[in-house]
Structure 1
């Protein structure tokens, strides 16, 4: 049986897996790190871009998000373009903060470069926030891959099908594509595979607590922009957001991304595309028609973005119960991309490495598999609602 030798082995090629690998390698340059990135190309981490902001009702996660934002602001993939939010007059909205400025429809059109006014509700007002940004997440991920390869990380672009454990619960190896088993000689094996986590643990016959993990699907719409579109539109426009969803420009990919709060839950990642809502982009089209009526007759592309949510939106960074050296490390909400700069440092801190950090230590207290029976969600506004088939 071929052997894999490394101080730490990381399974999972998304943003958070990349963050872990980078933090471990930079923190201990002489350690040999093995990184199984997998082959999946359509994931939340390879999305064109993600909104980056610090708004949470949970004060601890506000501080953690601000720490992440401080790092993002110096990153070449980050764009602090702000957003314009449609808010019903007199309504309380999580999209509106005291520093936002009310703008007119004409000012909005000038900001985005549109000849047609958005189709707002009669009582809907437009509020401009400068503090919100977005990041080219797929590009950020590729930059980290290139960086850690240059630092000497052993990168294996194969899928891990099963984790092999011994009778004492210690991780002894992995099984990859073509059912090839590898013996593992490593201090820690860290699994950060997002919505593939339940499937991987189940395939490995490793039990984990019920009711903690949820696999959620979200349809993403894409409008490809023509050369004429790009000459007309402001390609540095702020995001357009409202109760119905968001329109986010990608200057790097020449497109408008259309997202909505319409989500659905599946019991297995393999059933993601079988759900009726996975084939329905009508809500994405409605968002486009509201903010950019001139494109209402244009065709859009769609894809289904899978995500892993925890019961309370907090991370899981903890040893899998019943094992000895197997660590699960996962984000817990749709907003996990904002923690790309500091998630790896959290895992590093969990492993007893890195500099002392009181904020990280406090966050880690809530990242166990064991959760309080009555727990406050870190962001109640984004708890998926039961969807009708």
Structure 2
């Protein structure tokens, strides 16, 4: 473990959620020499995926939810983060437009949208996870913000508070004769790329330095010299530091071989439908004012979600039932690494046909009015899974001055405003004194199944073993 001084030289690898939040909180905690290295120029692109940025953080939007079943610590941290998201909205509203990041100067000048999250069953009854979540929220004193679609008292309360129109946006009760769902009125979504651009703006304002370049910012190795970490970049430079924090998202396992068996790079599948602006009915129906975030069949075998259309009319649907792997040679090792639309040598914009069919099933059952539009684009969202879906923030054993900050496991974005607060405590050696330091410590598992990490390259989730969907598959057939 490294003893930090406020003058210590700290290098953070990666400018996504884990990296930028850590940098921001380090600077705000008095550390004066913090530098972010990234092979993508996220400042120039504003993290916008449509501008060529590839990472889980560089997305159109992300879900903000507080339903965590029995994982009450994550539920509490998410609730704290919500307060900071509110603060960020107010700060942006009060900042002159010409001082804001470019992506926030026009269009929606708002990051966090409290549109609600409809946890929708794909069966005629609620699953065990949903019942457990409601029981925990009852104990936490926040059950009043949850509205069951089959509970008269909840429906009445939803009407009183202006949420009733989001209890059944798919009109399932009328069309299918059954609708079991819980509307969480505390939840919603954030514009992901705008949020990261804002966090980077705040970090730079606090004194964080950046090298965001495909050569000078691309880290190819991390070694040690005189018990200090040395970061090697693609331009041949060496950067000696007191502390290196590797927060490289899907590229973390290829930089830190020690995480093998603890972290694995995986991809979720995403499809978009373009809502036409000249159709006022559809444009209004899928607007954030009328459409909640929806999760369908979570923990019931479906694992599909959707978010309201964005300001440009993009309606995003994600399929998370299977998270794909992609093994390649990395310095003599076979490691799962991203295969993206822009950054990687081998490009990929398609998703497996199984994932696309799952998304199309969701649309056909719940939004039949969109079938005629078809899918407009697809992408793979690469992140890192841990053995137990909990984050990994700790010093790397046997690597003096090197820490890992990763393992978002598909639910890390909501903690962007607050994650770095807890990371700094761990980096300062206080991890054993905090609940999150204990949860996110370096660990192993003797379980025979470890969130798919035990499968390796022989497993069924390897991308090269999948039939990939083509544009012809984007259309719905009767």
Conserved? CA contact 1:6–1:34, under 8 Å: no
Where do 1:224-239 residues align within 5 Å? 224-229=274-279, 231-236=283-288, 237-239=291-293
Q: Distance in 2 between matches of 1:276 and 1:157?
A: 27
Q: Which structure 1 segments of 5+ residues have no match?
A: 202-206, 379-384
Does the alignment pair 1:281 with 2:356?
Answer: yes
Does the alignment pair 1:148 with 2:203?
Answer: yes
1:271 positional shift? 5.3
| Count of residue correspondences | 366
Aligned to 2:34: 33
Does the alignment pair 1:369 with 2:442?
Answer: yes
Q: Distance in 2 between matches of 1:374 and 1:115?
A: 40
Conserved? CA contact 2:55–2:249, under 8 Å: no
Q: Distance in 1 between matches of 2:398 and 2:233?
A: 20
Aligned to 1:101: 147
Superimposed CA distance per residue, residues 285-332 of structure 1 (whole angstroms, 9 cap, x where no aligned partner): 222222221110213211110110100112111122221111111134
1:62 positional shift? 2.5
Q: Which structure 2 segments of 5+ residues have no match?
A: 1-6, 41-51, 90-110, 135-142, 151-158, 328-335, 341-346, 452-458, 467-478
Superimposed CA distance per residue, residues 47-90 of structure 1 (whole angstroms, 9 cap, x where no aligned partner): 11111122222232222222223322333211111123332333
Where do 1:122-201 residues align within 5 Å? 123-158=178-213, 159-166=217-224, 170-176=228-234, 180-201=235-256
Q: Distance in 1 between matches of 2:87 and 2:448?
A: 35
User: Kindly tell me: are residues 386 and 41 of structure 1, through their superposed partners in 2, closer, same or farther at Cα, counting changes over 3 Å?
Assistant: same
User: Kindly tell me: are residues 149 and 264 of structure 1, through their superposed partners in 2, closer, same or farther at Cα, counting changes over 3 Å?
Assistant: same
User: Kindly tell me: are residues 93 and 35 of structure 1, through their superposed partners in 2, closer, same or farther at Cα, counting changes over 3 Å?
Assistant: same
Q: Distance in 2 between matches of 1:275 and 1:299?
A: 17
Aligned to 1:90: 125
Does the alignment pair 1:330 with 2:406?
Answer: yes
Q: Secondary structure at the match of 1:67?
A: helix
1:109 positional shift? 10
1:125 positional shift? 2.5
Q: Which region of structure 1 is more displaced relative to structure 2, 302-311 or 344-353?
A: 344-353
Does the alignment pair 1:263 with 2:309?
Answer: no
Aligned to 2:49: none
Aligned to 2:153: none
Aligned to 1:342: 418
**Structure with greater proportional strand content:** 1
User: Kindly tell me: are residues 33 and 229 of structure 1, through their superposed partners in 2, closer, same or farther at Cα, counting changes over 3 Å?
Assistant: farther
1:111 positional shift? 4.2
Q: Distance in 2 between matches of 1:154 and 1:95?
A: 44
Q: Distance in 1 between matches of 2:218 and 2:416?
A: 22
User: Kindly tell me: are residues 347 and 111 of structure 1, through their superposed partners in 2, closer, same or farther at Cα, counting changes over 3 Å?
Assistant: closer
Aligned equivalent of 1:311, options 356, 372, 387:
387
Aligned to 1:204: none
Q: Distance in 1 between matches of 2:399 and 2:339?
A: 28
Aligned to 2:81: 68
Q: Secondary structure at the match of 2:422?
A: helix
Q: Secondary structure at the match of 1:68?
A: helix
Conserved? CA contact 2:35–2:210, under 8 Å: yes
User: Kindly tell me: are residues 169 and 53 of structure 1, through their superposed partners in 2, closer, same or farther at Cα, counting changes over 3 Å?
Assistant: same
Conserved? CA contact 1:225–1:255, under 8 Å: yes
User: Kindly tell me: are residues 234 and 167 of structure 1, through their superposed partners in 2, closer, same or farther at Cα, counting changes over 3 Å?
Assistant: closer
Conserved? CA contact 1:188–1:326, under 8 Å: yes
Conserved? CA contact 1:221–1:285, under 8 Å: no
Q: Which region of structure 1 is more displaced relative to structure 2, 155-164 or 270-279?
A: 270-279
Q: Distance in 1 between matches of 2:149 and 2:259?
A: 49
